[in-house]
């Protein structure tokens, strides 16, 4: 698998691997150290804090380079707002 990832990386600008759940099977934990970065995808409605911490700890244990978190299946409530900052003279 490592050879395949290296070959794909030479042919393409970006290679994305989608693995099964980190806590369900070992695929993600085995692949994580061999790639440039890992994005942890969390289903908000399904994931418990304890499971998220365990998944993060497993990534730390295998020395994966964590580059971010995506939270999906999140319900938008009335408290959500969009933040936008306009440039000031100092920014320009």
Mean predicted confidence (pLDDT) in 67-87: 68
CB atoms within 10 A of CB 66: 13
Signed CA dihedral, 25, 29, 32, 33: sign only: negative
- Provide the whole-model pTM: 0.66
Can you give the pLDDT at residue 79? 58
pLDDT, one tens digit per residue, over 12-29 is 999 999 988 888 888 889
pLDDT of residue 82: 57
Domain ranges in the chain are 22-74
């Amino acid at each position: 698998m490592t050879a395949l990832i290296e070959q794909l990386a030479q042919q393409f600008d970006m290679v994305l691997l989608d693995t099964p759940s980190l806590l369900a099977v070992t695929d993600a934990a085995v692949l994580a150290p061999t790639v440039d970065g890992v994005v942890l995808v969390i289903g908000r409605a399904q994931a418990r804090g304890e499971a998220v911490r365990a998944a993060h700890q497993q990534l730390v244990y295998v020395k994966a380079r964590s580059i971010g978190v995506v939270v999906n299946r999140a319900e938008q409530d009335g408290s959500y707002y969009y933040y936008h900052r306009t440039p000031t003279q100092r920014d320009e």
